[in-house]
A and B are shown apart, each in its own frame.
Chain A
Amino acid sequence: MPLQFSKYLKIEVEVVVARNSFQAEAVDKGKMSKKFVEKSAVVFMNEDFARRNGFKEGDIVRLSRRGRSINVKVFICETSPRDGVMMPNSIYSSYLADFDNFKRFRAYIELSDGDVTKPDEIIDQIKNKNKK
C-alpha cells in the first residue's frame, strides 16, 4: 500500500479518530469478519463536506499519510467534523496515526478505483516490513 499517483483530486483533511458503538458491537463476529471490516474500514463525513469535495456514500477513498495508505468506504454521518472526516478506532486508523497525532491527524483523501483494504493486508505490512 505505498503512496501512488492517482487520476483523482487529492485533498488534505483532518481525520478525527473516535470510538463507535456499532463497530464495537461487531467485535462479537470477530475482528477479521466482514461485518467488523464494514464497520472499521470506513470514513465518516457530513453531507456538506462530501458534496463540496465530490464524495458520496459508498465511494471507496484512499486515505494516505506519511507514505502509507488504505482504502476505506465513505459513509455520510451528521456527527462528523464540520471540515474534516472521522474514523473509528481500529487497525485502519492506527495504521495511519502516531502518538503525536493519535486522535486527530492530517491525511490526504482521494477517490479510489480499488477495493477496501483488508486487515490482512495491514498485518502483512506489519510483518513483512520487519524481514531483515
Chain B
Amino acid sequence: MICTGCALLCDDVIIINDSGNLKVRNACRRGAKLIANYKNLRADATINGKKVNYEEAIERVKEIINNSESLAIYGMDTISIEAQKLAIELAERKEAYIDDNSTFCLGDFVEMILKKEIPSTTLDEVRDYAYVIFYWGTNPFHTLSRHMSKFTYYPRGKRRQRGYEEDRFLVVVDVRRSHTAKLAKKNAKFFEVRDDLELIQAFIDALDGKPPKIFANDVFRVIKEMEKSDFNVIFGGLGLRYGLKGKYDKFLEMIRKMNERTKVYFIPLGCHPNMRGFNELLYGITGYVNKYSFKDKESKEDFAFYNLLFEEKIDTALIIGTDPLNSLPFEYAKKLAKINVIVIDPRENFTTKIADVVLPSAITGIECGGKMKRIDGVEITLEPMIEAEIDDVSIIKSILNLIMEGI
C-alpha cells in the first residue's frame, strides 16, 4: 500500500486490516501513526461550531459560495489529483482565485522545473546513479524520514553498489547542525552557513576559477567530487527558498555553471503529499503552478492566498485539506478570521475552530484512493485501505452541482 504521510508516498507499506483497525509495517513513525490512528479526532459537520448533519452543512456551503463575490480556494495538497481537478473546475466556474501551500513553500522551484529552467530527475534515478547528494536548507531526517534510506544516501543502486561510505558523497547545507547534518561524516561535507547566498557565490567563484571568499578548500573539494560523476543531485528545502531572499537567478547561475563541468539535477523537497500534483495539474490547465485568478486569467504575487487575505480582496475562503491557522503568520491568520471560511478536512484542526462551515472528509490514501504525484513528479496510484462513504471528490462534486443550480 501507499503511505500518504508525506511527499515520498512510500509504496512498500504493509497494512493488516483487523476489522477496521489498521496495523502498519514498514512505514516510518509518522506514517505508521497517521495510518494506525486514522480514527482519532475526526472532524464533524458543523455550522458556526455547532454539529449539524452533512446535508445541512453542504446547503450552507452552497449559500455562502453562491453569495460570494470574491472566492478563493486554498490548500488541496493532501487530496487526490481527481479531487484537485474538481476544485479547479469549481474555481473556474466561480471565476475564483486558486492557490496552495506551495505559494510560500517550493512552488517557484517546481515552476522552474516544469518550464525546464532547471534540470530535474526522479528519485529512482537518484538511487541508481547519484554520487554527490546535496541537502540544502532541508532536513529529511525529520521531514521525509525515509528519503535517505529509500532513495539517496543509504541504498545500493545500479551504478552505486559499494555503499554510502564509498559510493555516495553527502553535502549538507544548513544554518545549524541538523540531524541530517550529523550524518555527514566520512565522504561528506557539512556547510554551516549564515547566508546561503554567500555559499552560492563561493561556488560560482570557484567554478569561474576565482578564489571563493568562504569555505574555499571545501568548495573546491566538493566540485572535484562532483566532477568524478556524471550524476549529482541537489535537494532544496524551505531553508534554501528563504535563504535566497528572492534571488533565484543566483541559484540558477550556480546550477548552470555546475552543469558546464558535470551533470547536476535539482529536486525541491516539499512535505505535503500531493503538492507536486497540484502544481503540475494547475500548470497543465493554466500555465502557472499556483496563485491563479480565473477572473484575471493570470497568476501573480497579488493573487497569493496570503496577499488576498492581507489586502482583504476576498470575502470567502474554501480551505481544502490544510490548516492555514497553523502555517500562516498571525497578521494573515487574523484576516482569515474576518471572512467566511469553509473547511473540508478529515480532521479537526486550528482552522476548523474559526470555520463557518466544516465538511468532514476521508483521509486520502487510507479511506479513499486516487492519484497523487510524488515529490519528483512521478504519479502514484492509491488504493483505499478501507472505503469511506464521503470523500473529497464526492464533496466537491456536490458543491459543484449545487453551485450549477445557482448559476
Q: Which residues of A contact B (CB under 8 A)?
A: 16, 18-21, 24-25, 27-33, 68, 78-82, 86, 89-91, 94-99, 102-104, 119-120, 122-123, 125-127, 129-130
Cα–Cα distance between A32 and B325 once the two chains are bound (Å): 13
The answer to whether B350 and A25 have CB atoms under 8 Å apart is: no
**Which chain A residues border B207 with CB–CB below 8 Å?**
none
Q: Are B142 and A18 in contact (CB under 8 A)?
A: yes
Complex-state Cα separation, A130 to B336, whole angstroms: 10
Known interface pairs A21-B145, A31-B323, A103-B239. Does A79 touch B178 (Cβ–Cβ under 8 Å)? yes
- B86-123 near A? 1/0 per residue, CB < 8 Å: 00000000000000000010000000000000000000
In the bound complex, residues from chain B placing their C-beta under 8 Å from that of A127 are: 334, 337, 354
Interface presence of B143 (CB below 8 A) = yes
A80's partner among B176, B306, B326 (CB-CB below 8 A) is B176
Interface pair A29/B350, CB less than 8 Å apart? no
CA distance A99 to B104 in the complex (A): 8
Give bound CA distance, A25 to B175, whole Å: 24
Contacts of B332 in A (CB 8 A): 99
The answer to whether B29 touches A21, judged by C-beta atoms less than 8 angstroms apart, is: yes
**Cα separation A39 to B153 with both chains bound (whole Å):** 28
- B positions within 8 Å CB-CB of A: 28-30, 33-34, 36-38, 40-41, 104, 139, 141-143, 145, 175-179, 181-182, 192, 238-239, 242, 271, 306, 323, 325-334, 336-338, 347-350, 353-354
Number of A-B pairs, beta carbon distance below 8 Å: 118
- Say yes or no: B328 contacts A94, CB within 8 Å: yes
Chain A residues with CB below 8 A from B175, complex form:
16, 81, 104
26 residue pairs of the A-B complex, CB under 8 angstroms, read A18-B176, A21-B28, A21-B141, A21-B142, A27-B347, A28-B37, A28-B40, A28-B41, A30-B347, A31-B350, A79-B182, A80-B176, A81-B176, A89-B326, A91-B326, A95-B329, A96-B330, A98-B329, A103-B238, A103-B242, A104-B242, A125-B330, A126-B330, A126-B337, A127-B354, A130-B334
Task: Find out whether the CB atom of A79 lies under 8 angstroms from the CB atom of B347.
Answer: no
Q: Which residues from chain A contact B350 at a C-beta distance below 8 Å?
A: 31, 91, 119, 123
Q: Give me the 7 closest cross-chain CB pairs, A-B, nearest first.
A: A30-B41, A28-B37, A81-B176, A21-B142, A28-B33, A103-B242, A25-B30
The answer to whether A29 and B329 have CB atoms under 8 Å apart is no
- Chain A residues with CB under 8 Å of B29's CB are 21, 25
